[in-house]
Chain A
Amino acid sequence: MTKIAFVRKKEIPPSPPPITEVGLIGWLRQNLFSSWLNSILTVLSVYFIVIMLWDFIPWAYGGHWNTKSLRECLDLDPDVACFSVLAARWKQLLFGLYPAEEYWRPTLTFIFLLLAIVPILFPKFFRFFWFSIIYPGLAVWLLWGGSVWSISIVYIGLTLGVLFFLTLIRRYLKNYMIAAILAFLFTAVFFLFISNWLVGLLNAILPINLPFVESLKMGGFTLSLIVGVTGIVASFPIGILLALGRQSNLPVIKMICVGFIEFIRGVPLITLLFVASVLLNYFLPPGTNFDIVLRVVIMVTLFSAAYMAEVIRGGLAGLPLGQHEASASLGLTYWQSQRLIIMPQALKISIPGIVNTFIGLFKDTTLVSIISLRDPVGLASTIRADQKWNGIYWELYVAIGLMFFIFCWGMSQYSQYLERKLKTDK
């Protein structure tokens, strides 16, 4: 009686999952056809995508690139795109009316911009942060030209001021407040009385000059980037200060911050731009030449700083009160606790909102076309006013839209990378 019970020595290999759950079919079922509503939506979407591409691809793919005018395009084949306008005008769309022999300057400025933001975006390159510091001055000099010393002097003056402050603190004074005031006075004296003389001297010893290019000539994506990047970079710290000021216990500071934020948010950007372009001229003494690009940059910065402040305040409000109390109980001062405990967490929470504001600001730069600056959208109408290209429409806007998409999508991708990297709660 040999009853040998079956004993399995090995585990049964798992059978493959049903074909409807894996691979392409599984993916489709899970993502596109998971319910009858989703199936209908999928079919409809595919239908619309196909009919759009059905028209767009032959139109774009067969487009003319080498004709001399829209008329020629139409005579060749009126049903395809006339990208010749881009071939003829791409330099203007990128550089505006910047003198052609100086195109290397905005190009170099842009390359340096990419280099300068790397240390800010990626901490492992932080040792190159000094380049990000000198970049603003370098960019201004490259774009507008003139003597290198008249811009360097700003750096020289500020460095001297900081050195003066540090020396005072280390050697002579214990009181930060008095040292700061003295350092401020020192810097003011330097800029009021010494800087002009020093610039003259340096120019005489070692003249390094670039031909001057006026703001009237700035345009195209160069202008969008000047306004957008400066606005973004400058509005961030101002926004942080405003957000902190709004939560301050000091009534005067709080009132100023609330007043500023609510005033700016209550006014459309285009109104501020009109103030910058039109009204300021009435208030300033006649003959003052207050650069139009600078005026616009200031307005755009103030505008987005107000929004930034509210985004960051949202992040601050999202922190539990315990964090403030914990940092206070450790004996940290206000600024120490902001720097070490509060801000890192609050900013992390606010990343989507911050990038949202940045992207919005960058796209809002197209509004400057209404006050006569030649940004890409403004240039589109200038180009159409040339009889050779009168009547061209989609080609220009497709190209401009594509350029804006690249920049905005890049910002969005970076913010997602940053969120993943800073994710500590999982």
Chain B
Amino acid sequence: MCIGKFYVHTEVSKLKIKVKEGKNMKKLFFGVLTALALAAGGTFAGTLDDVKARGNLLCGVSTGAPGFATVDDSGKDVGFDVDYCRALAAAIFGDPMAVKFVGLTSAVRFTALAAGEVDILARNTTWTYSRDTDLKQTFLGVNYYDGQGFMVKKELGVKSTTELDGATVCIQVGTTTELNLADYFKENGMSYEPVPTADNAESQQQYLAGACDTYTTDASALHGTRVNLENPDDHLVLPEIISKEPLGPLVRHGDDNWADIGRWVLNALVIAEEKGITKANIDSWKDTKDAEIHRLLGTGDDDILAMVGLPKNAMYNAIKAGGNYGEIFENNLGATSGINIERGVNASWTKGGILYSPPFR
């Protein structure tokens, strides 16, 4: 609070000078906005305390992204991002249900986080430089390495994106995928004709109606869509991925402790998979010789989780909530979910992927 008020005062005094100097009103308006934003920002010092006082975690998820976040037929929140937030809630409260999911569209997600409507944003959001710096957010890591792909009908006989010269492409307007597409075709000296669409569902309809030869979006979405086409085997997701879309959870700048908690819950899930700790066998590690597992599950002597203000068995609870990273992946994106996405680069580094957590010590 104090920090916030201090900022307001300094900003207001600066503003007075500006007005004296006869600067225009626009500056005044934006100055006030900044002052208020800073005032708001100043009060976010202890997110963990706020969350504990409130009794639940406010987690911003997508209003609907296949595999990542949605509600099932009974109205329960499900998805890859949802399970991450449940793990985080379990780490803090010991109860994976102590979380409220706030569905956010891409138009309002960052402002909702900045304004404090949610404590953490786990909304299949791509980690980029400007989002990290300019928007004053802290990305906690990558929970899914996505990338832009293409789907074609098999009868077209195309086996690779390099054969797509002159193709008509269904593309969602106003997305990074649109820019990536332009870059990729330019780089490879190919031409294409865009068919603009509003969202993935419309792209799919246009593609099926034959309005375009291929349609492009994040590969995870392409896989999910393909499975539910009339004859999935008539369609092919091309092997090339033309962009990097590392998705991850993020929090506001300014509360490093809170960021650490979110980051290490994610890491704990990855380490658990690496070590073979699953939801089912988590209680059978008491006698292991591996000291890192003892630290992780809180079964050893030292209580290193006290450093961030979590209970000793926080990570035990987090893993117990929905299983390790691999189990969460399998349930929401892998074979169990019906989306059938391969682990690919999202496998642990011990299995040929690039998921690699820093050591837990």
A positions within 8 Å CB-CB of B: 69-71, 74, 78, 88-89, 92, 97, 100, 214, 216, 274, 277-278, 281-283, 286-287, 369-372, 374, 378, 381-388, 390-391, 393
Selected from A281, A382, A388, the residue in CB contact (under 8 A) with B111 is A281
Given A71-B228, A382-B64, A388-B338, 12 extra CB contacts under 8 A: A277-B108, A282-B36, A282-B40, A283-B36, A286-B39, A371-B105, A372-B63, A381-B64, A382-B71, A385-B63, A385-B66, A387-B224
User: In the complex, what residues of A have CB within 8 A of residue B204's CB?
Assistant: 391, 393
User: In the complex, what residues of B have CB within 8 A of residue A97's CB?
Assistant: 71, 75
User: In the complex, what residues of A have CB within 8 A of residue B64's CB?
Assistant: 381-385
Most-contacted residue by chain B among A372, A386, A387 (CB, 10 A): A387
Contact of B199 with A by CB under 8 A: yes
Tell whether A385 pairs with B73 under 8 Å between CB atoms, given A277-B108, A393-B205.
no
Q: Once bound together, how far apart are the Cα atoms of A286 and B78, in whole Å?
A: 30
Q: Once bound together, how far apart are the Cα atoms of A275 and B105, in whole Å?
A: 15
User: B225 to A390, Cβ gap below 8 A?
Assistant: yes
User: B71 to A92, Cβ gap below 8 A?
Assistant: yes
User: A74 to B230, Cβ gap below 8 A?
Assistant: yes
Contact of B33 with A by CB under 8 A: yes
User: In the complex, what residues of A have CB within 8 A of residue B107's CB?
Assistant: 274, 370-371
Closest 3 CB pairs of A and B: A385-B64, A281-B115, A385-B70
Supply 22 A–B pairs (Cβ within 8 Å), ascending by A.
A74-B229, A92-B71, A97-B71, A214-B100, A281-B112, A286-B44, A370-B105, A370-B107, A371-B108, A381-B64, A384-B66, A384-B201, A385-B63, A385-B79, A386-B71, A386-B72, A386-B78, A387-B67, A387-B224, A388-B338, A391-B225, A393-B205
Number of A-B pairs, beta carbon distance below 8 Å? 116
Contact of B104 with A by CB under 8 A: yes
Contact of B195 with A by CB under 8 A: no
Q: Once bound together, how far apart are the Cα atoms of A378 and B66, in whole Å?
A: 14
Chain B residues numbered 168-214 whose CB sits less than 8 Å from any CB in chain A: 199, 201, 204-205
Residue of chain A at shortest CB distance from B224: A390
Overall SS of chain A's interface: helix
User: In the complex, what residues of A have CB within 8 A of residue B108's CB?
Assistant: 274, 277-278, 371-372
Q: Whole-angstrom distance from the CB of B136 to the nearest CB of chain A? A: 13
User: A282 to B75, Cβ gap below 8 A?
Assistant: no
Q: Once bound together, how far apart are the Cα atoms of A371 and B112, in whole Å?
A: 10
Q: Once bound together, how far apart are the Cα atoms of A391 and B116, in whole Å?
A: 34
Tell whether A70 pairs with B71 under 8 Å between CB atoms, given A216-B102, A282-B40, A371-B107.
no
Q: Whole-angstrom distance from the CB of A82 to the nearest CB of chain B? A: 10
User: In the complex, what residues of A have CB within 8 A of residue B224's CB?
Assistant: 387, 390
Q: Whole-angstrom distance from the CB of B227 to the nearest CB of chain A? A: 7
Q: Once bound together, how far apart are the Cα atoms of A337 and B178, in whole Å?
A: 61
Selected from B40, B75, B105, B339, the residue in CB contact (under 8 A) with A387 is B339
Contact of B165 with A by CB under 8 A: no
Q: Whole-angstrom distance from the CB of B353 to the nearest CB of chain A? A: 23
User: A372 to B103, Cβ gap below 8 A?
Assistant: yes
Q: Once bound together, how far apart are the Cα atoms of A374 and B71, in whole Å?
A: 11
Q: Whole-angstrom distance from the CB of B234 to the nearest CB of chain A? A: 12
Contact of B13 with A by CB under 8 A: no
User: A70 to B228, Cβ gap below 8 A?
Assistant: yes
User: In the complex, what residues of B have CB within 8 A of residue A382's CB?
Assistant: 63-64, 70-71, 103
Contact of B357 with A by CB under 8 A: no
Q: Whole-angstrom distance from the CB of B258 to the nearest CB of chain A? A: 16
Q: Whole-angstrom distance from the CB of A394 to the nearest CB of chain B? A: 9
Selected from B43, B63, B230, B337, the residue in CB contact (under 8 A) with A78 is B230
Tell whether A216 pairs with B230 under 8 Å between CB atoms, given A92-B71, A378-B63, A391-B225.
no
Q: Once bound together, how far apart are the Cα atoms of A92 and B103, in whole Å?
A: 15
Q: Whole-angstrom distance from the CB of B191 to the nearest CB of chain A? A: 30
Q: Whole-angstrom distance from the CB of B242 to the nearest CB of chain A? A: 23
Selected from A100, A216, A287, the residue in CB contact (under 8 A) with B43 is A287
Contact of B37 with A by CB under 8 A: yes
User: A286 to B4, Cβ gap below 8 A?
Assistant: yes
Residue of chain A at shortest CB distance from B338: A387
